[in-house]
Structure 1
């Protein structure tokens, strides 16, 4: 299978040279992308199928069609001066780190060699991590639980099923209709793991992964095979007896469900594992902020506002509900509203507005009115064009109000000390407070 890699918002031109893709492969991948829920009405939400090139948009992940696959990586500035392969390897690490935080997984990125990060696609790396973790878990013992069984026996076991006894065995008292509990490993959790192994076996192209998946399939031979749409996710109970399986359940959701990604397949047309970067960035930052502020007097809620912009006079019905990405409260009072935006802003030297859209400003003004927060932040990914370090880049006062709206950036290419970096960004005294002490005021919106 031919594999190709492109970064978010970049182009992959048609042709047979290095860094190009044959047009018939591009057609297959674009057709598969159209089936994604991220494609949108215009059909170009994942890939723009141009006359001369494919152009990636704000969705990352893997598209795998017949005889070819396309890996779309996020536009993260890493390893300047390194080769493209090393840069792509570093981006894969950062993307998997973001997924691990967003999905509350513990993933040891050091278990894979640097060569594997460069050679394997994002999908194969995720499959390998899952295989390694599941293999380790089943070696320690497959989780089991008591399930109720009904059977007709010659001696009483458990409880007598009176209704069945006097209807089916009224003339044959030598058989007893029994109900009893047995310790079984054919549980919803193990059925989910078997479904994940089967699904990944059909889409993996790595010989090492296929070998690991075959070994796992043998382990799950006696577990009932349940189609993914009918898996009983709601019946899975994670407690102290099976706590290590929490992460594996999260990874199974990643492969089998539609939370951050869409998976498609069937009829030999291919498979897609895609993530919308706006949603992933929002969840990633929200969880990091929640962790960084633990132990303070601030509480954090993700999309927890949901106040309405308008109320009808007739029946007091709310219209135009708001969903701020992150709300910070002190003693129950909202003090800070944060909205994440996965887009590149420019420096104030290049553009006083920094490329911030007017719609985003109006949205923040609505939040200021509804939530009465004194501080609102538009938080973007950092890039070298904004300077050497992440920071609060601009602070403005809403005209006629004391509310501050600021633009800030966080560097997702650097995972070092990230919780303390976020804490400093949110809790340190900002330029507005310093300027106020000196008799100056922030810019007005």
Structure 2
């Protein structure tokens, strides 16, 4: 159910459009930022017709001289299931046996803030991780190596001070900078519960000596190793927070601050990662977003979500998959997806292609394309079930990709 209450607007992902009172500046900002579909209500001046798409979360819009407006978009799938999809796609081996802890929270943003704070707390219980960072400095003593070109350019042959470069053992490393940035990002978002906010402030105090990220700066790069293994879960959630931030930007004179998950991308990531893990366990080679070309001149690029290869070199395609979260037609799957999959099969020389949807309007079906012999399969995953059952459906699709019977079929 969707309703507007004061300056808080509640929407539901892919629910019917609703008319709400809204300042024109806020409505135009929603259109420009693509947070939701928005248009002036032709029958009621001062009101806008809003419809949420596949983005879920919460954003606050602050027009100059007016009250802030918070838009909350609730996902159709349970929040616990959404966090399983997120956790599995970020780290399938680490999250395979459980879900991201979200406590009793039933709304997306409080659950996200709680999950990140718990993981940061676990990561920092043994103190801040330290590591070596390349450092360039001007010093009165030689440390590391002398930067000869800089010494000549800046000092004109004088002996002191010395331009040096060395590796400094410090806690101001990319891992800690990402954690601090995620904590500070959550503290600025609307709708974080007071108890979670207090714990986030405690985590920020533990990271107070870490250099904050500059707004607009690229996120620091980290690599999973044995030494930073206790940080892995926290870092993956931190990147999800920082990459999913809706802005913290201004549209005209209006400021937007919030966090949104793109359910299309979340579903695509989960399906392709889960299929890759199942196929890898069976000894098959599967790659995500591999580049291929539709034409002989290699001018028209294609990037299927997942391609399975039939040889160890990974050169002979065996199956192709595209994941689609939402069917656009009321009466079933959109035809454009079929045309796209036919192009993939034609270019890769495959007799069959596979489209994987979130279960909605259409059932599992298959189409044989005239004059080509190509068969296009359309699978439907039911997200409203527990993780074990959902991974069972993924396993069934994976077996069909390599010519095996579906899980639970009569052929088993």
What is the TM-score normalised by the length of structure 2? 0.77
Deviation, 1:268, is 6.5
Q: 1:253-292 residue pairs with structure 2 within 5 A?
A: 253-257=239-243, 262-265=246-249, 269-292=255-278
Provide the residue aligned with 2:318 in structure 1.
335
Structure 1 residues 177 and 5, CA gap change in structure 2 (3 angstroms)? closer
Provide the residue aligned with 2:65 in structure 1.
none
Provide the residue aligned with 1:58 in structure 2.
54
Structure 1 residues 204 and 402, CA gap change in structure 2 (3 angstroms)? same
Q: Deviations over 1:333-358 (max 9, x none)?
A: 32222222222488xxxx9xx63333
Residue of structure 2 aligned with 1:233, choices 208, 220, 225: 220
Structure 1 residues 291 and 128, CA gap change in structure 2 (3 angstroms)? same
Provide the residue aligned with 2:337 in structure 1.
360
Provide the residue aligned with 1:307 in structure 2.
292
Structure 1 residues 181 and 103, CA gap change in structure 2 (3 angstroms)? closer
- Equivalents in 1 of 2:356, 2:321: separation in Å? 7
- Equivalents in 2 of 1:171, 1:283: separation in Å? 56
Provide the residue aligned with 2:358 in structure 1.
381
Provide the residue aligned with 1:24 in structure 2.
22
Structure 1 residues 182 and 228, CA gap change in structure 2 (3 angstroms)? same
Residue of structure 2 aligned with 1:401, choices 372, 378, 392: 372
Residues 338 and 376 of structure 1 are in contact (CA less than 8 Å); yes or no, is this contact kept in structure 2? yes
- Equivalents in 1 of 2:75, 2:163: separation in Å? 60
Structure 1 residues 212 and 12, CA gap change in structure 2 (3 angstroms)? farther
- What SS does the aligned partner of 1:244 have? helix
Q: 1:126-275 residue pairs with structure 2 within 5 A?
A: 126-147=112-133, 148=135, 150=137, 152=139, 158=143, 161=146, 181-205=167-191, 206-230=193-217, 233-234=220-221, 236-257=222-243, 262-265=246-249, 269-275=255-261
- Equivalents in 2 of 1:167, 1:407: separation in Å? 69
- Equivalents in 1 of 2:79, 2:26: separation in Å? 21
Q: 1:34-73 residue pairs with structure 2 within 5 A?
A: 34-36=31-33, 39=34, 46-51=36-41, 53-66=49-62, 67-73=68-74
- Equivalents in 2 of 1:298, 1:129: separation in Å? 34
- What SS does the aligned partner of 1:396 have? strand
Indicate whether 1:322 and 2:302 are aligned.
Answer: yes
Deviation, 1:75, is 3.5
Q: Deviations over 1:115-145 (max 9, x none)?
A: x22xxx3122212211111122112111112
- Equivalents in 1 of 2:145, 2:357: separation in Å? 65
- What SS does the aligned partner of 1:300 have? strand
Deviation, 1:286, is 0.3
- What SS does the aligned partner of 1:294 have? helix
Residues 280 and 286 of structure 2 are in contact (CA less than 8 Å); yes or no, is this contact kept in structure 1? no
- Equivalents in 1 of 2:163, 2:332: separation in Å? 73
Residues 292 and 302 of structure 2 are in contact (CA less than 8 Å); yes or no, is this contact kept in structure 1? yes
Provide the residue aligned with 1:122 in structure 2.
108
Structure 1 residues 416 and 396, CA gap change in structure 2 (3 angstroms)? same
Q: Deviations over 1:1-43 (max 9, x none)?
A: 96443222224634xxxxxx5x137x5653442342xx2xxxx
Provide the residue aligned with 1:440 in structure 2.
none
Deviation, 1:202, is 1.9
Residues 12 and 76 of structure 2 are in contact (CA less than 8 Å); yes or no, is this contact kept in structure 1? yes
- Equivalents in 1 of 2:305, 2:348: separation in Å? 13
Residues 368 and 375 of structure 2 are in contact (CA less than 8 Å); yes or no, is this contact kept in structure 1? yes
- Equivalents in 2 of 1:136, 1:297: separation in Å? 34
- CA RMSD in angstroms comes to 3.6
- Equivalents in 2 of 1:176, 1:202: separation in Å? 42
Q: Which moved more, 1:247-256 or 1:178-187?
A: 178-187
- The structure with the larger Rg is 1
- Equivalents in 2 of 1:261, 1:286: separation in Å? 23
Provide the residue aligned with 2:82 in structure 1.
95
